[in-house]
A and B are shown apart, each in its own frame.
Chain A
């Protein structure tokens, strides 16, 4: 008999025990399953009773049931429908505690974390907490953020550099890569440029041609050099090249006149110096246009990927994205005319360069498949849009009806966590409340 209403879950759970006690004695295997499913096997007395029952002492069955029934009933009444996880959910970077107040943590070498939740649910807090622990453990971090809340990382470490994209900090033009051949980097640069600024193949090849010409004249060009190089090129007004020239100049001009252009100027201390010195970097991208945000996040991620891939270093690097939709927007993957986005390639390959991404999102159903498919850890906070909740439920593979329903009514600071290894069932956890600590 299955009763499907509010109190049904409780009755459905109770029924097997009623039958166990009143009609016929349970078998040893049934008892073992009940004890195991409810994580009561850590108690040595329970194990001793089970052993006695297995050896034929049926009088111990009633004793065992008296011991376990109140605990199971309490759990059913007060806890969530998620199973109690075992100790393997703990890891060196702790993010929350489970329903039994045991720690939940992540191993740094588990690639990619997806955090989905509505605004104010605590995504940034969890990421900040995790990154502080990572920095303390000597892991290099980059954080792309749209809020100044992340500046609190300065309380945790002095080895942190803030790039605010207002022309106050300069990181070099990024038109060359310290390890890649210039022509190879020109292709990657043009790919990212065209995907971010929504321009087509023709302009991409036009840019590649001019970048290569520029490299021949000047091995370390700036964006202004590229702009001038294209501006000084002459094409008949009615030709295709004139259109490509116009498109490229329009986008480059926009970059050059904004804070992004001023940040991408040469300097004595450039990006490569910061990375070599293992300085953590916070990129405050809130003052850039959406296209510029996509461009710079992709470009920097690609730059770091190739840098670390060449060095073959074992050192782990975390990249945190406060708004993952800017980078992993599903619409980028739905443009067959532009090919697969560079970031999709990077997400699948970043593990080889020991780069692990942490992507936060408020709209998980608009995130591309690349991050859903490659995230080892998925964390769902409270979400308001049913489409987003269903997306995360499906992404986490939650099939149990009670668990699915519970996901629709997550409370403040409650999270559903799903790992792809170690402990693979979804479970409920609670993130610490940092408001009591003044947000620091």
Chain B
């Protein structure tokens, strides 16, 4: 019987004979080059959460190169944007070291933009990844559309909050960008409790619109408004605003994301209104 190795050698010969002539390109001995696409410049997202290292796009030549493992990780990021590196490595059956190295390589090549978001009170921030325009080109896939023109961290906050609230008791519906009526304002995350009460959760990247947002949510019929702030600075200014609207703090509350993700019931965040 003809062995597998002989068949492989023979197949290789056929493939080489049929392969179209490729233009010469720089040798990359460490990685197998599988995709070659024209370089498209991208604009860097504006955010205060901008972490290190920054994607070094200036070093790009006229071609984009990506290894099979990098492509698999990129595919995984595309299919699930809202998980951290540890969870992602588990999904991909990769060790955390190997996964981190691949992700660092993707960041260096500019396929993804990292965002360090603090999800726990103690410990390090969790690294989330946003696919860049260049990454979408490599995947040959349509870009994700974030909620109502918001940027990645805002949408990430919304998704993390929604995911957490779905697990809590007495919550029967969690809706991102939900609204109470036809003409009423959309709430970042709208929660419906078992007793029919609605709770609005607003994500505050800055305190600029939070005064009007809180009043509109309360007018629309929400029993309570929880404002999840990006950092302590925003939290302090939002607390000042809320003190004017609801001095007793029964209907409104300003918190940081780790507090939200730690809570085991809605009452922990806004006990007065419920």
A277 within 8 A of B: yes
- Using an 8 Å CB-CB cutoff, how does the interface string of A41-61 with B read, 1 for contact, 0 for none? 000000000000000000000
Query: Could you tell me if A269 and B18 are in contact, using CB atoms closer than 8 angstroms?
Result: yes
Query: Could you tell me if B1 and A151 are in contact, using CB atoms closer than 8 angstroms?
Result: yes
Query: Could you tell me if B7 and A268 are in contact, using CB atoms closer than 8 angstroms?
Result: no
Stretch at the interface among B9-17, B49-57, B192-200: B9-17
The size class of the interface chain A forms with chain B is 20 to 34
Query: Could you tell me if B140 and A225 are in contact, using CB atoms closer than 8 angstroms?
Result: yes
B2 within 8 A of A: yes
Query: Could you tell me if B75 and A277 are in contact, using CB atoms closer than 8 angstroms?
Result: no
Specify which chain B residues have a CB less than 8 angstroms from the CB of A161 in the assembled complex.
11, 14
Specify which chain B residues have a CB less than 8 angstroms from the CB of A159 in the assembled complex.
14
Specify which chain A residues have a CB less than 8 angstroms from the CB of B10 in the assembled complex.
154, 158, 160, 162
Since A162-B10, A168-B8 are in contact, a sample of 17 more A-B pairs with Cβ atoms closer than 8 Å, ordered by chain A residue number, is A148-B2, A149-B1, A151-B1, A151-B7, A154-B10, A161-B14, A162-B11, A164-B4, A169-B11, A218-B141, A228-B79, A228-B141, A231-B79, A268-B20, A269-B14, A274-B14, A274-B18
Query: Could you tell me if B2 and A154 are in contact, using CB atoms closer than 8 angstroms?
Result: yes
Q: In whole angstroms, how far apart are the Cα atoms of A231 and B78 in the complex?
A: 11
Residues of A that sit less than 8 Å from B by CB: 148-149, 151-152, 154, 158-162, 164, 168-169, 217-218, 220-221, 224-225, 228, 231-232, 268-269, 273-274, 277, 279
Q: In whole angstroms, how far apart are the Cα atoms of A159 and B13 in the complex?
A: 10
Distance in Å: Cβ of A10 to nearest Cβ of chain B: 47
Q: In whole angstroms, how far apart are the Cα atoms of A224 and B14 in the complex?
A: 27
Q: Which of B209-261 contact A (CB under 8 A)?
A: none
Residues of B that sit less than 8 Å from A by CB: 1-2, 4, 6-8, 10-11, 14-15, 18-20, 75, 78-79, 140-142
Query: Could you tell me if B75 and A218 are in contact, using CB atoms closer than 8 angstroms?
Result: no
Specify which chain B residues have a CB less than 8 angstroms from the CB of A268 in the assembled complex.
15, 19-20
Residue of B nearest to A274 (CB): B18
Query: Could you tell me if A220 and B140 are in contact, using CB atoms closer than 8 angstroms?
Result: yes
Query: Could you tell me if B11 and A217 are in contact, using CB atoms closer than 8 angstroms?
Result: no
8 Å CB contact of A273 from B18, B79, B141: B18
Specify which chain B residues have a CB less than 8 angstroms from the CB of A279 in the assembled complex.
14, 18
Q: In whole angstroms, how far apart are the Cα atoms of A224 and B142 in the complex?
A: 14
